[in-house]
Structure formats: structure tokens, C-alpha cells
Amino acid sequence: MPERGRTVKDRGEMSSHTFTSQGPLKGRIRVPGDKSISHRALMFSSLAVGESTVEGLLEGEDVLATAAAMGQLGAEIVRGDDGIWRIHGAGLGSLLEPKQALDMGNSGTSTRLLMGLLASHDFSTTFTGDASLSGRPMARVIAPLSQMGAQFEASTGGTLPCMLRGASPAVPITYRLPVASAQVKSAVLLAGLNTPGITSVIEPVATRDHTERMLKGFGATIEIGEENGERSISVHGEADLRPQHVTVPGDPSSAAFFIVAALITPGSDLIIENVGMNDTRAGIVHALRQMGGAIEELNPREVGGEPVADLRVRHSDLAGADIDPALAPSMIDEFPVLFVAAAFAQGTTRTSGLEELRVKESDRLAAMAAALDLIGAKVEETEDGLIIEGTGGEPLRGTPEGASVATKLDHRIAMSMAVAGLRSRNGVSVDDTAPIATSFPTFTDLLEGAAQ
Ligand code: S3P
């Protein structure tokens, strides 16, 4: 078994940065491609025999980890000088046993989706990851995939490193998700692709639906139904995927940092072009509008089978709000930056039902409570949420001399606190900006460039 979790040092030197207040955010920007869609585009293209092309792929470390893994499994993946990725798929059922462990870096999505895909392939694979990923729970995918016949040898507590022996043939199941997780849903559906018969997932609460949308586009037979108010998704195995051209829309999770930056910075009037507006992802826009945020959707259209719009965001006097826990699955990655918006709102913002935030790249409730407290915000951490008393638009103090926010190998903590730095008197010093490259390598330049 390879060694457990690499440490921060394995990523290279920690790189601290202080984010300070600057002018209003103006003009037009574009954020990189959607991370969830990018992972899936590479995976599904690798399963279709022939050449698929992907335009607008997010070239962040997490997605590159998926590309490298698919290469180890037999796909040929090349980035053209035109920025278009060309993928020659090995074919479903014809993936090759990897010669080395698959190093998933920081990426939970790569790990869980690939565990699903390989659960119905007749060979062994070992998964490893960085210190953050090695602490994250894999039992949530190991449980259903074991029911399908796959065998796992995980580290203590159901974590990485983890060895998987795929089943051939695997057994189709109907699985009701015990946690609202698109990764678990996708893992079971991907295992179902190479499993004879019909594999179904029932989700009590809708989670992002990129897997089902894109699999349909690649020619898989997918049925979506409703049973007693719950969504069911079935895949017919053994599927035959056909090569596609995929256009990846801008990532709403990345856009969220700029939406909040513009809302809290006086004088801002920013257009963020080409942002994915899939209902299962757009919760942050609803929550910020509820707080009084001026966010307009311009030119709504479809890109690559996903709804997209340009967002015009203007500085707004935000008011605290009770955020409906039912919105959580559609904005699960956006809570860190919502907490920043709340720290500058008038009055109290209460969030609850967010236990899942404790098992993301870091414990995001604890990490954000500590970070906001450090910069002078009034924040109380509960078991399943944060309660934040905002400044009413006034700047916060920022990090005290010599102190910096601990990002805990979590890109979204780093970016959220960078945004808080725009409205903090001393600025916000972040201990390590390197994790930002997992999802948004151009973030710092774009943030510093958008201010005029
Ligand atoms: C993702 C699903 C979510 C999200 C993650 C990406 C996906 O995770 O937090 O960043 O691409 O399916 P969960 O399924 O664990 O909620």
C-alpha cells in the first residue's frame, strides 16, 4: 500500500499572499470552465470509442488529475494549441489496469467518480491523495459499490490510500442516497454503465445533475423519474457511448467569488460572462438576492446542454438573512463565500443543515469561523452552520500584524478570504494560496485585474 497522504510540502512551498482593498470591480470578465462538468467530460470521452473534443475545459489541478488518471487507464488525451482537448477513448469495459497508483491530489470528485467507474472493471486500482483528500470519507461510495460486487481495502476510517478490485460482471442495484451527494450518485451511475441490467439511484434531495445530462448526450440510456417527491435516475448497462464535442460553461462556483466581491465593494458594476445557471447549482444567486444583492441575468442561453447567462452584479447594501437549508445542495461549495457576504451585511445571517461542509477539502464551518474571527467578524459556530453578525457594509479590521488565515489545503477558504480582503482595513493575509490552483489557477490575477 503506498504511503498515506502527502503533506503540504509535497505541493511545493507554501505561498502566502495579502489581499487588500482596491477600487470597484468593473468591466467584463470570464471565469474558467466548470469543474464538475470538466471532470465528467474527460471521463465520458475516455469511455467512448473514437475522438471526442472538449472546449473550455478547466485546466486546474483537480481536472488535470482526472486527465492523468484516464491516461493511466488507457485513454489518449492531448491538449491542442487551440486550447481544445482531444480524447481518444479506450471504450467502456476496455480500460486498462493502471501500472501505478492513481494520485488524485486534492480532488474528491475525481476519486469518488473513478471509484464508481472502476467498480465494474475487472482489475485492481489503488487511489492516493494529498493530506486533505486522505482525511475525507470514502465509505459513502464504498458502501453502494460493495453491494455491486466491488472489493475495497481502505485505510482506517474508510479513507485513502484505498485499493479497489472491480467486479465483472457487477450486480445492478437500486440505491437510495443517505446523504445529498452528487459524487455518490455519480459513482453508482458510473458503475452501472458497465453493469448488465438497470442501476438506479434515488435522491431524496436533488443534487447537481451534470452526470445524467452529459451521459444522455454521450448516448447512454438514462431514465429520470419522480417517486413520492424523490428523484430517481436509472442507467441501462452495458452502455455504448458515442464520441461528442463538449463545450464547458463557466463555473458558477468560481463566479461566486466575483459576485460577492462586486456586491461588497462600493462602486462595483461587473459583468461575469458565460456562467452556468443550472438550477441544481444556482442556489448562491438566490441566497444573495434574498440578502438584497443586485444580480441580473443577461442573455440567458444554452451552452453544451447547460443553461448559461451573463451576470451583471452591482454593489449592494446587503441584509442578513436566514438561509433555507433546502438551498444547501444547490450551493454546497458556495457557503464559504456566502459567509463573507454575511460578514458585511446589515444584521444577522443564520445558516443550518450544513453538516456536509465538515467533510469537504477542509472542515469549512470550523475553518471559516476561525478565519472570520481572525479578521474581526462576529461569528458563532454551531453544529451544522454559522451565525454571523454583519458590519452593515463597514470594512472589517483584517488580519492582525503577523497573523494569517489558515487555508487548510482548501482552495475555497483561500479564495473566500481573498474576497474578504477587498473590504478589510489591514487586508487579509492568507497562509497559502497554492490550493487555489486546484480549481481556479487564474483567480488572483483576475481579481486584481477586475478592480479599477
Ligand atoms: C461535486 C459534488 C459536490 C461538490 C464538489 C463537486 C461533483 O460534492 O461539493 O465540489 O462534481 O459531483 P458532494 O457530492 O460530496 O456534495
Write the DSSP string, 207-267.
---HHHHHHHHTT--EEEEEETTEEEEEEEESP-----EEEPPBPHHHHHHHHHHHHHSTT
Q: What is the mean pLDDT of the chain?
A: 96
The range of the structural domain enclosing residue 21 comes to 17-33+249-450
Residues 241 and 268 in one domain: no
Whole-number Å distance, alpha carbon 400 to ligand 1 midpoint, is: 34
Residues 302 and 372 in one domain: yes
Residues 304 and 409 in one domain: yes
Residues 228 and 279 in one domain: no
Residue 122 is among the residues annotated as catalytic for this protein: no
Which residues of the chain have a pLDDT value below 50? 1-9
163 forms beta bridges with 126, 153
Residue 345, domain member (yes or no): yes
Residues 396 and 309 in one domain: yes
CB 83 within 8 A of CB 54: no
Residues 241 and 332 in one domain: no
* DSSP assigned state of 171: -
Scan for cell 453544529, then name that residue. 383
Residues 183 and 322 in one domain: no
Q: Which pairs count as long-range contacts for 68-75, CB under 8 Å and 24+ apart, including other chains?
A: 68/103, 69/98, 69/102, 69/104, 69/110, 69/114, 70/42, 70/43, 70/46, 72/98, 72/99, 72/100, 72/102, 73/46, 73/98, 73/118, 74/46, 75/45, 75/46
**Which of these three, 184, 211, 246, is where a domain ends?**
246
**Is any ligand 1 atom within 6 A of the Cβ of residue 36?**
yes
pLDDT at residue 12, as a whole number: 61
pLDDT at residue 11, as a whole number: 52
388 forms beta bridges with 349, 379
Residue 84, domain member (yes or no): yes
The best mutation among 34, 35, 36 to test binding of ligand 1, ranked by most ligand atoms within 8 Å of the C-beta, falls on 36
Whole-number Å distance, alpha carbon 144 to ligand 1 midpoint, is: 17
Residue 1, domain member (yes or no): no
pLDDT at residue 6, as a whole number: 39
Residue 11, domain member (yes or no): no
CB 176 within 8 A of CB 202: yes
Q: pTM of the full predicted structure?
A: 0.97
Q: What whole-number distance in Å separates Cα of residue 160 and Cα of residue 435?
A: 19
Residues 253 and 190 in one domain: no
Looking only at the bridges linking them, the beta strands covering 124-128 and 159-165 are antiparallel
Structural domain count, the chain: 2
pLDDT at residue 132, as a whole number: 97
Residues 215 and 229 in one domain: yes
Residues 151 and 78 in one domain: yes
Side chain identity at residue 55, one-letter code: E
Residue 9, domain member (yes or no): no
**Which of these three, 200, 227, 246, is where a domain ends?**
246
Q: Which atom of ligand 1 is nearest to the CA of 39?
A: 11
Residues 22 and 107 in one domain: no
Residue 414, domain member (yes or no): yes
CATH number of domain containing 55: 3.65.10.10
Residue 6, domain member (yes or no): no
The best mutation among 62, 117, 183 to test binding of ligand 1, ranked by most ligand atoms within 8 Å of the C-beta, falls on 183
Residue 432, domain member (yes or no): yes
Looking only at the bridges linking them, the beta strands covering 428-430 and 17-19 are antiparallel
**Which of these three, 185, 215, 246, is where a domain ends?**
246
Residues 29 and 115 in one domain: no
Q: What whole-number distance in Å separates Cα of residue 201 and Cα of residue 215?
A: 15
- Out of 333, 363, 431, 432, the active site residue is 333
